[in-house]
Amino acid sequence: MDKIKEHFSSKVGEAQKDVKDFISQHGDEVIGEIKVSQLYQGMRGMPALICETSKLDPEEGIRFRGYSIPELQEKLPSMPDGGKEPLPEGIFHLMLMNEIPGDDEVRRLSNNWARRSIVPPHVFKVIDSLPKSAHPMTQFVAGIMALRTESEFARAYRHGIHKSEYWMPTYEDAMNLIARLPRVAAYIYRRVYHNGEHIEPDPKLDWAGNFAHMLGFDNDEFKELMRLYMTIHSDHEGGNVSAHAVKLVGSALSDSYLSFAAGMNGLAGPLHGLANQEVIRWILSMRDELGGGLPSKEQIANYCRKTLADGKVIPGFGHAVLRKTDPRYEAQRKFALDHMPHDEMFLIVSRIYEVVPDILSATGKVKNPWPNVDAHSGQLLMHYGLTEYDFYTVLFGVARSLGTMANMIWDRALGLPIERPGSTTTALLKDQFGK
Ligand code: FCX
């Protein structure tokens, strides 16, 4: 058993007892009510899931195990050679262990993932069998499914593993998946956009730094961006489509590969993770239509009104839970102010921020007119030359492995059962309320 697994193992017994005692003491307490409208509105606001790794407050935004993003930027280890951004290894450790790691623990995770990172050749063959024009998310999901041949949970289950040990092979699958995803993602990127000129991993680098390297970006500032990007995209509590899909599918004891692929299919939807590419597509088409350069506030406002009049959403704005500017947006804005305050695309993104909230508020129906994480991420990537925006959701997906896999290990450790909420029909509801 590796040291990280041993450390996690030491926490399992106590957590199981804690949850069991809590349920026996408070299992009958009522924590909310369900309105008929919520059944038709995507179950907004219904507490229905346990997700230990992070919690989203509508006003304050995300907290990972109680820590806000600025706190994590201060507390999580960064690169020893003067790095400023948190290493994603650190947030994974925090989410899994519920402890802020030290430099040694983070280095151990980097090394552990580097050792696990070899991708079997058939995975590349599966990806190569798809046309290059297949969306990168399609290729990503195919790659994840091909990785499944390596599932230790599937093997252990077939051999009759005792349920108390489910978390152990799940841990192996989760760690292997996290370790291998950057290679799979970079392979897709180089295949589609760089004539298949692939770049070998550098096992001496940290997880995000190595990912940047394999993508073909060896600039130190871009590596710092990747560390921040992976950290802030890692988790957003349990009810968003991708995290919930992973949890739901995992609850059937589908292994990490099956479950994560399900989540990635959800992330690929334009109302969720695909919004990061849609933001850049929307900005570029606005710029093209206006003849290039920095559009005025009035021009942006007119373009927004046209988007709404065409029955489309303004990508990167709004949220099902948040009711203020997403702190993940703010962290990226700060990165831009520190590193590229005069970048034209940044100035456009900033101006959009000044204009859009009023326009969305004026519709009278948008509950949150403020920007979310996706409103900013593409601009930062564009600045460093990662301009192929169809690839952006894959980056989001790699980051999401951290939170969803930490959760999955916990779900198996706590022995959570298969999910099976009830459904009803409109006719039955009408009967219940006398029509
Ligand atoms: N532009 C135009 N209309 C919007 C809007 C936007 N950015 N955001 C919400 N609305 C509309 C909804 O479409 C809905 O209209 P309808 O009543 O005609 O169907 C109405 O406002 C009420 O929706 P609301 O309750 O505010 O929002 P929801 O919780 O239903 O949806 C999302 C939340 C995020 C899906 C919605 O704000 C949206 O479509 N935003 C644009 C896409 C986007 O940026 N998604 C990324 C979100 C996130 F950060 C992520 O997962 O990555």
ipTM: 0.99
| Mean predicted confidence (pLDDT) in 342-346 | 97
How far apart, in whole angstroms, are the C-alpha atoms of residue 76 and residue 72? Answer: 5
Architecture of domain 275-383: Orthogonal Bundle (1.10)
The structure tokens listed for 363 are: 């519709």
> What integer pLDDT is reported at residue 206 of this predicted model?
97
Q: Which of 153, 216, 146, 205 is nearest to 181 (CA)?
A: 146
Active-site residue, 26 included: no
Nearest 5°: the CA angle 78, 405, 203 is 45
Ligand 1 atom 39, closest CA? 271
Q: Please report the DSSP string for 391-435 in residue order.
A: GHHHHHHHHHHHHHHHHHHHHHHTT----------HHHHHHHTT-
CA 319 to ligand 1 centroid distance, Å: 6
Residue among 234, 303, 314, 366 whose CB has most ligand 1 atoms within 8 A, to mutate: 366
Output the ligand 1 site: residues, CB below 6 A: 240, 271-273, 275, 308, 313-320, 360, 365-368, 372-374
Locate 360 and state its tokens. 């969305």
Altogether, the residues listed in the chain come to a count of: 435
**DSSP 3-state assignment of 67?**
strand
Share of the chain above pLDDT 90, in %: 97
Does position 384 have pLDDT exceeding 90, yes or no? Answer: yes
Within 10 angstroms of residue 11's Cβ, the number of other Cβ atoms is: 15
pLDDT at 188 over 80: yes
Q: What is the mean pLDDT of residues 195-212?
A: 96
Q: In this predicted model, what pLDDT tens digit does every residue of 293-317 receive, in sequence order?
A: 899 999 999 999 999 999 999 999 9
Tell me if residue 319 is catalytic: yes
User: How far apart are the CA of 144 and the centre of ligand 1, in A?
Assistant: 29
Ligand 1 atom index nearest CA of 273 = 52
Q: What is the pLDDT, as a whole number, of residue 405? A: 98
Q: Which amino acid is at 85?
A: E
Q: What is the mean pLDDT of residues 402-413?
A: 98
Mean pLDDT for the chain overall: 97
CA 260/CA 268 separation, integer angstroms: 12
Assign 3-state DSSP to the chain and report helix, strand, coil percentages, each to 5.
60, 5, 35
Q: Where does the pLDDT of residue 1 fall: very low under 50, low under 70, confident under 90, or very high at 90 and above?
A: confident
Confidence of residue 434 (pLDDT cuts 50, 70, 90): confident
| Rg from Cα positions in the chain | 22
Q: 9-42 pLDDT, tens per residue?
A: 999 999 999 999 999 999 999 999 999 999 999 9
